[in-house]
Amino acid sequence: MSDRSEKRKATHKKYYEANKEIRNAKSKAWQQANKDKVNAFAAKRHASKLNRTPSWLTKEDLAEIKDIYSMANRRTQVEGIQYHVDHIIPLQGKNISGLHVPSNMQILRARDNISKGNRYGKD
């Protein structure tokens, strides 16, 4: 990475940290004012997850998926750091789409998952 991009990244991080509460308040206000868009996004995500959940999953697989989400919630509560369940290969990737199966799931810190975005490899 060049010095210029490193400086830009450091400046962005500093701004992000200094304005965290303001950004959170603005985000919450936007969500309240745009419930229809928030609901549409959530519905699309839910439908995608359903469409990417294969019918051949066993009861044990489904129980493992629930356990993964429970572990992420427990880690958030115990450590005080927000954790997400990430699909290693995104459910709605640009060039590739993964499945909603235990082997395609991992627990990541929320900030790492968000910075990863909807990418897989060089996708």
99 found inside a domain: yes
The answer to the question of residue 116 being in a domain is yes
Provide the residue range defining the domain that includes 69.
56-123
Domain assignment present for 67:
yes
Q: Over range 45-49, report the average pLDDT.
A: 84
| Predicted structure pTM score | 0.68
Contact 89, 104 (CB under 8 A): yes
pLDDT of residue 122: 61
Please give the tally of structural domains in the chain. 1
Residue 105 covered by a domain: yes
13 in any annotated domain: no
Q: Please list the helix, strand and coil fractions of the chain in percent, rounded to the nearest 5, in that order.
A: 65, 10, 30
Residue 41 clears pLDDT 90, i.e. is over it: no
In a domain, 7, yes or no: no
Looking at residue 13, its pLDDT comes to 84
